[in-house]
């Protein structure tokens, strides 16, 4: 720890505006879902959140460029980002836990397996299978067919794994001081991220249009869209962060040994990549 | 706890002297100052004031419940409204009173106890706090919505909270999301502060136990609040988008809800008690005028409790139809938690042994904590035994159990902390006379309220019911009288705090003779900015 005096950031209006914006977004979302008339407030809330984030980060970037942040502040950011990613890991862990629970316990029990066996009395004709094409009750219609892992999902896996690689090359280039090389590989990474999102969008279209695989198609559809949907949102956010980093590289914000913004973005991107590998294996393949 | 005061206590307190180097720019004045503040002390105060107000709102809900239960039959409220009161009482007390109170104490005290100038991420800190009023405005607003507020209990089991829930449930979910984000960001801040901003020379094993317990609590928060976010998101989708997560007709399972909820819920109860352990571990040595017995074992016991808390969740689900092997596993892991908890109680009592003890108000609350929390711990052990739980499940015995760990447990520790640190916050001692009145009325009120619930529960009275059979009438009458006594005595707490803020006997930097930690080296009241230059802490071996 440094011996000098501490750096304490000045007050800021962005946090309180951010919490109001988030509250507005939630209120709008709730009104829309319950009463069907909250969409404008929802949109306004989202826009306000994006604006607040942009301005808040702009302040942080400015302070960083002014050299206000010392090594200790840098470490605080690192711990902060690290633990934030851990919280994201646990968010996805809940969804993976639900997937495993349904496959290992819930469906076999509905089919009469296990010591208790009473759940089987509800729908005696039900047969457990995964992917579940025939939900227990006739009121819920399952998908006709599910997506093959070896077509678009495999392509997307290759895209995302490659993007982690290109990002690492960009990072190495930045550390060695090759700004142009870094910029090019980073641009490639953002491009791959955008490709992933497009492919995923197309896959969703296919699922809805041709496979009957929808959000309300029983537990398979629910889990499929829950896991891939939240992952897709994270890819989108990650790609936007990387795009911001591209702009910052362009403006020469980073040096070879001081570029935590870039590193945090990279951590986040690798995390999103690892989640996808888990998804590919346990949602699509097995 | 090792004493680690700098050689001369006031030498390093940068408060008064180094005023020239105060934070950049003049802080805004008036209301704006509170809206924009990034100062850990001001944010700590905001958290504590918020928590106290919510404590009264949640308390009024509890009194509505106790009023209805005063005698058998339906007298005052409709069953539907009664359910909303039990639900919101639980939600408000857990998420808006107890948790923010501990976060407020963490904000105030952790930087002072580790010699840091502020929290590691001060703006994030402001954001974390201001999410809370937004979240709970949304949550309380559900009471006014068509169909009423949440009525399914604070555990909001599906399908009661999905298929059969009032329309306002969507707003409840969104409010809980905001509260969850606040908790996660607050916890990240606390971890970063503890790991990164300790004064030079302070090793991890030199940290006061309040800091240690909060470090572990913050880890639990970051690990399980996202799981809560996940499960309420799945509820939201089930309610509004036709998914089947908790609906067996589509291949899902309502029991899945319980697994996910309690994977969050059990660590959550430790989130509400570990900081209490830290507070009591600070107060008992101070007023016993002896170092804490077994500092290292306290740290290891806290860590063990935290790790075990991830392996016990299904003890809340013994009667839901689990396989035998699961019943056994969760029974044994749950009982195992008694070991590290026992270590703690043993250490507190051993600290008292041969101490020169004095009984100021904070000490009274801390001692009551040790005794009454232990009663709650023992009834928890009874509930852990699966075959016995088949009888106790969803009876008032469970209500008695968790209120013993939460009210004379978590809440008494918060009160103890307030009495203990008020001199540091305000520069004045709280009134000892009123403090004693507050303490004794609270202790009597708490025990009158919750002790009879053990008996009504064992006799079979179910929880969350607005009416009951005649044989439970006497116990309920006593519980209700106790509840009103406890509730109204809390007004005394407000009087004590207000009087203390306004004036009273002046407190020196080291307000309590036996106090050892770093916070007592800065003046009382603590100036707005402390430790702007890091103090140097000389590590001392633990006794
Ligand atoms: Cu538990």
What pLDDT, in 10s, does the model give residues B99-116? 999 999 999 999 999 999
- The gap between the terminal CA atoms of chain A, to the nearest Å, is 49
Nearest to B260 among A5, A86, A98 (CB): A98
Contact B73, B490 (CB under 8 A): no
**Cα of B284 vs its chain's centroid, Å:** 19
Query: B207 exposed, middle or buried (CB, 10 Å; 0-12, 13-18, 19+)?
Result: buried
**Cα of B255 vs its chain's centroid, Å:** 27
Indicate the pLDDT class of residue A70, thresholds 50, 70 and 90: confident
CA B264, CA B468: separation in Å to the nearest integer? Answer: 32
Catalytic residue among B47, B108, B262, B270: B270
Among chain A residues, CA nearest to B198: A1
**Cα of A1 vs its chain's centroid, Å:** 34
The closest alpha carbon to B477, from B145, B73, B194, B89, belongs to B73
Q: Closest approach of chain A CAs to the CA of B126, in angstroms? A: 6
Contact residues, chain A, for B196 at CB < 8 Å: 72, 75-76, 79
B281 is catalytic: yes
Interacting residues of B170 by C-beta distance below 8 A, sequence separation 6+: A30, A33, A34, B236, B239, B240
ipTM of the modeled complex: 0.95
Identify the helix (H) or strand (E) that includes residue B41.
Answer: helix B40-68
- The gap between the terminal CA atoms of chain B, to the nearest Å, is 8
Q: Lowest mean pLDDT: which of A44-48, B236-240, B534-538?
A: B534-538
Give the Å distance between the CA of B80 and the centre of ligand 1: 27
Subunit contact A106:B253, Cβ cutoff 8 A: yes
Task: Map tokens 């009024």 to a residue.
Answer: B60
CA A225, CA A110: separation in Å to the nearest integer? Answer: 22
Contact A267, A245 (CB under 8 A): no
Q: Lowest mean pLDDT: which of A75-79, A237-241, B5-9, B341-345?
A: B5-9
> DSSP characters for B354-395?
T------HHHHHHHHHHHHHHHHHHHHHHHHSHHHHHHHTTB
The closest alpha carbon to B120, from B106, B139, B135, belongs to B106
3-state secondary structure at position B428: strand
B168 is catalytic: no
Nearest to A11 among B37, B240, B263 (CB): B37
3-state secondary structure at position A66: coil
pLDDT of residue A5: 60
Query: A5 exposed, middle or buried (CB, 10 Å; 0-12, 13-18, 19+)?
Result: middle
CA B59, CA B276: separation in Å to the nearest integer? Answer: 20
Q: Which residue has the higher pLDDT, B255 or B538?
A: B255
B521 is catalytic: no
Q: Is the pLDDT of residue A92 over 80?
A: yes
Instruction: Domain B30-102+132-521: give its CATH architecture.
Output: Up-down Bundle (1.20)
- Name the region of B72 (left: φ>0; alpha: ψ -120 to 50; beta: rest): beta
3-state secondary structure at position B181: helix
Looking at residues A54-75, what average pLDDT do you find?
90
Contact B331, B285 (CB under 8 A): no
Among chain A residues, CA nearest to B193: A76
CB contact, 8 Å: B328 with chain A?
Answer: no
Q: Is the pLDDT of residue B293 over 70?
A: yes
The DSSP symbol for A118 reads G
Looking at residues A269-283, what average pLDDT do you find?
96
3-state secondary structure at position B201: coil
Q: Is the pLDDT of residue B14 over 80?
A: no
Among chain B residues, CA nearest to A130: B251
Nearest to B248 among A27, A114, A122 (CB): A122
pLDDT of residue A153: 95
Burial B58-82 (b: 16+ CB within 10 A, else e): bbebbbbbbbbbbeeeeeebeeebb
Task: Tell me the β-bridge partners of A258.
Answer: A255
Looking at residues B256-267, what average pLDDT do you find?
97
Nearest to A87 among B170, B192, B222 (CB): B222
Structural domains in chain A plus CATH codes: 13-68 (1.10.287.70), 81-285 (1.20.120.80)
Contact residues, chain B, for A66 at CB < 8 Å: none
Whether the upstream peptide bond of residue B525 has omega within 30° of 0, thus cis, is: yes
Indicate the pLDDT class of residue A11, thresholds 50, 70 and 90: confident
Contact B10, B291 (CB under 8 A): no
B442 is catalytic: no
Give the Å distance between the CA of B310 and the centre of ligand 1: 10
Other C-beta atoms within 10 Å of A153: how many? 21
What pLDDT, in 10s, does the model give residues B39-84? 999 999 999 999 999 999 999 999 999 999 999 999 999 999 999 9
Q: Which two tokens stand for residue B173?
A: 């979910």
Contact residues, chain B, for A83 at CB < 8 Å: 187-188, 191-192, 222
Indicate the domain borders of chain B: 30-102+132-521
Q: What percent of chain A has pLDDT over 70?
A: 96
pLDDT of residue B163: 94
CA torsion angle B345 B349 B350 B352 (round to 10): 150
Indicate the pLDDT class of residue A66, thresholds 50, 70 and 90: confident
pLDDT of residue A202: 97
Helix ranges (DSSP H) in B385-531: 386-392, 396-405, 412-426, 432-458, 473-502
CB contact, 8 Å: B30 with chain A?
Answer: no
Q: Which of A30, A215, A227 to mutate to test the interface with B (most CBs of B within 10 A)?
A: A30
Indicate the pLDDT class of residue A9, thresholds 50, 70 and 90: confident
User: Can you say whether the dihedral through the CA atoms of A150, A155, A161, A165 is positive or negative?
Assistant: positive
Nearest to B134 among A23, A86, A222 (CB): A23
CA B93, CA B437: separation in Å to the nearest integer? Answer: 24
What pLDDT, in 10s, does the model give residues B372-406? 999 999 999 999 999 999 999 999 999 999 999 99
Interacting residues of B102 by C-beta distance below 8 A, sequence separation 6+: B214, B217, B271, B272, B275, B276, B410, B414
Give the Å distance between the CA of B334 and the centre of ligand 1: 8
pLDDT of residue B430: 97
The closest alpha carbon to B75, from B468, B450, B345, belongs to B468
- Count CA atoms closer than 13 A to B384's CA, side-chain side: 20
CA A190, CA B87: separation in Å to the nearest integer? Answer: 47
Contact A241, A268 (CB under 8 A): yes
Whether the upstream peptide bond of residue A176 has omega within 30° of 0, thus cis, is: no
Looking at residues A223-241, what average pLDDT do you find?
97
Q: Which two tokens stand for residue A60?
A: 């942080």
Catalytic residue among B87, B128, B161, B341: B341
CA A25, CA A40: separation in Å to the nearest integer? Answer: 10
Longest dimension (CA), chain B: 71
Contact residues, chain A, for B222 at CB < 8 Å: 83, 86-87, 90
What pLDDT, in 10s, does the model give residues B184-216? 999 999 999 999 999 999 999 999 999 999 999
Q: Which two tokens stand for residue A10?
A: 């000045």
CA A97, CA A78: separation in Å to the nearest integer? Answer: 28
CA B411, CA B56: separation in Å to the nearest integer? Answer: 13
Interacting residues of B498 by C-beta distance below 8 A, sequence separation 6+: none
CA B379, CA B369: separation in Å to the nearest integer? Answer: 15
Subunit contact A15:B123, Cβ cutoff 8 A: yes
Contact residues, chain B, for A218 at CB < 8 Å: 244, 250-251
Query: B26 exposed, middle or buried (CB, 10 Å; 0-12, 13-18, 19+)?
Result: exposed
Q: For Cα atoms B188, A262, B191, give the angle at the middle one, nearest 5 degrees.
A: 15
The DSSP symbol for B322 reads -
Q: Which two tokens stand for residue B156?
A: 């909001």
Among chain A residues, CA nearest to B176: A26
pLDDT of residue B539: 65
CA torsion angle B367 B371 B373 B379 (round to 10): 180
Q: Which two tokens stand for residue B46?
A: 């905001």
Q: Which two tokens stand for residue B8?
A: 């001369």
Give the Å distance between the CA of B269 and the centre of ligand 1: 7
The DSSP symbol for B462 reads B
3-state secondary structure at position B353: coil
Q: Which two tokens stand for residue B456?
A: 């009504």
């Amino acid at each position: 720890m440094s011996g000098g005096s501490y750096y304490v950031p000045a007050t800021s209006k962005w946090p309180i505006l951010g919490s109001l914006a988030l509250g507005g977004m939630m209120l709008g979302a709730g009104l829309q879902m319950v009463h069907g008339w909250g969409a404008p407030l929802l949109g306004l809330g989202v826009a306000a959140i994006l604006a607040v984030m942009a301005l808040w980060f702009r302040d942080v970037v400015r302070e960083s460029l002014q050299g206000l942040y010392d090594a200790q502040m840098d470490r605080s950011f690192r711990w902060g980002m690290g633990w934030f990613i851990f919280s994201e890991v646990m968010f996805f862990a809940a969804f993976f836990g639900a997937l495993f629970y349904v496959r290992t316990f819930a469906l076999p029990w509905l089919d009469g397996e296990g010591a208790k066996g009473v759940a089987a009395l509800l729908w005696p004709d039900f047969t457990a299978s995964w992917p579940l094409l025939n939900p227990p009750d006739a009121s819920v219609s399952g998908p006709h067919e599910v997506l093959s892992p070896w077509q678009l999902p495999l392509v997307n896996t290759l895209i995302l794994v490659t993007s982690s690689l290109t990002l690492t090359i960009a990072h190495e280039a930045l550390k060695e001081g090759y700004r142009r090389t870094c910029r090019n590989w980073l641009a490639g990474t953002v491009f791959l991220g955008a490709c992933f999102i497009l492919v995923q969008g197309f896959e969703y279209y296919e699922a809805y249009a041709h496979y009957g695989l929808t959000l309300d198609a029983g537990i398979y559809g629910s889990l499929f869209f829950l896991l891939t949907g939240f992952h897709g949102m994270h890819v989108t956010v990650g790609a936007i962060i990387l795009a911001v980093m591209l702009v910052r590289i362009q403006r020469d914000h980073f040096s070879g040994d001081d570029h935590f913004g870039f590193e945090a973005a990279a951590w986040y991107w690798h995390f999103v990549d690892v989640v996808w590998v888990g998804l590919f294996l346990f949602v699509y393949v097995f | 706890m090792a004493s680690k005061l700098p050689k001369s206590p006031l030498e390093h307190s940068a408060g008064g002297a180094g005023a020239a180097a105060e934070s950049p720019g003049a802080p805004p004045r008036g209301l704006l100052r509170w809206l924009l503040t990034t100062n850990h002390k001001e944010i700590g105060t905001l958290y504590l004031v918020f928590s106290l107000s919510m404590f009264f709102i949640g308390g009024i809900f509890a009194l509505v419940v106790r009023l209805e239960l005063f005698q058998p039959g339906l007298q005052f409220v409709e069953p539907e409204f009664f359910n909303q009161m039990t639900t919101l009482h639980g939600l408000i007390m857990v998420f808006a009173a107890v948790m923010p109170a501990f976060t407020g104490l963490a904000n105030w005290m952790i930087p002072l106890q580790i010699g840091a100038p502020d929290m590691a991420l001060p703006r994030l800190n402001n954001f974390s706090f201001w999410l809370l009023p937004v979240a709970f405005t949304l949550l309380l607003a559900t009471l006014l919505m068509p169909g009423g507020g949440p009525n399914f209990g604070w555990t909001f089991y599906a399908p009661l909270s999905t298929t059969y829930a009032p329309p306002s449930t969507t707003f409840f979910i969104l409010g809980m999301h905001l509260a969850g984000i606040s908790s996660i960001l607050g916890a990240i801040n606390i971890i970063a502060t503890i790991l990164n901003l300790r004064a030079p020379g302070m090793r991890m094993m030199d940290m006061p136990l309040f800091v240690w317990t909060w470090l572990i609590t913050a880890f639990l928060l970051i690990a399980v609040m996202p799981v809560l976010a996940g499960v309420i998101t799945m509820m939201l989708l089930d309610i509004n988008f036709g998914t089947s997560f908790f609906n067996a007709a589509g291949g899902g399972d309502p029991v899945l809800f319980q697994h996910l909820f309690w994977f969050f819920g059990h660590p959550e109860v430790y989130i509400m008690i570990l900081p209490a352990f830290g507070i009591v571990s600070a107060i008992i040595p101070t007023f016993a005028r002896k170092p804490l017995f077994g500092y290292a074992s306290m740290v290891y016991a806290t860590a063990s409790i935290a790790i075990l808390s991830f392996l016990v969740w299904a003890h809340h689900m013994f009667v839901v139809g689990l396989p035998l092997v699961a019943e056994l596993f969760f029974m044994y892991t749950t009982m195992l938690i008694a070991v590290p908890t026992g270590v703690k109680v043993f250490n507190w009592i051993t600290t008292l042994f041969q101490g020169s003890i004095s009984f100021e108000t904070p000490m009274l609350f801390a001692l009551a904590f040790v005794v009454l929390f232990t009663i709650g711990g023992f009834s928890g052990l009874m509930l852990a035994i699966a075959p016995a739980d088949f009888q106790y499940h969803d009876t008032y015995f469970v209500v008695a159990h968790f209120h013993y760990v939460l009210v004379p447990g978590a809440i008494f520790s918060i009160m103890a902390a307030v009495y203990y640190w008020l001199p540091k916050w305000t520069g004045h001692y709280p009134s000892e006379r009123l403090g004693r009145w507050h303490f004794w009325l609270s202790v009597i009120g708490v025990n009158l309220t919750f002790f009879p619930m053990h008996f009504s529960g064992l006799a079979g009275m179910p929880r969350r019911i607005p009416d009951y059979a005649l044989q439970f009438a006497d116990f309920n009458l006593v519980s209700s009288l106790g509840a009103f006594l406890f509730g109204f005595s809390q007004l005394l707490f407000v009087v004590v705090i207000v009087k203390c803020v306004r004036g009273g006997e002046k407190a020196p930097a080291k307000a309590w003779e036996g106090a050892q930690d770093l916070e007592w080296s800065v003046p009382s009241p603590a100036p707005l900015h402390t430790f702007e230059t890091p103090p140097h802490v000389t590590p001392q071996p633990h006794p």
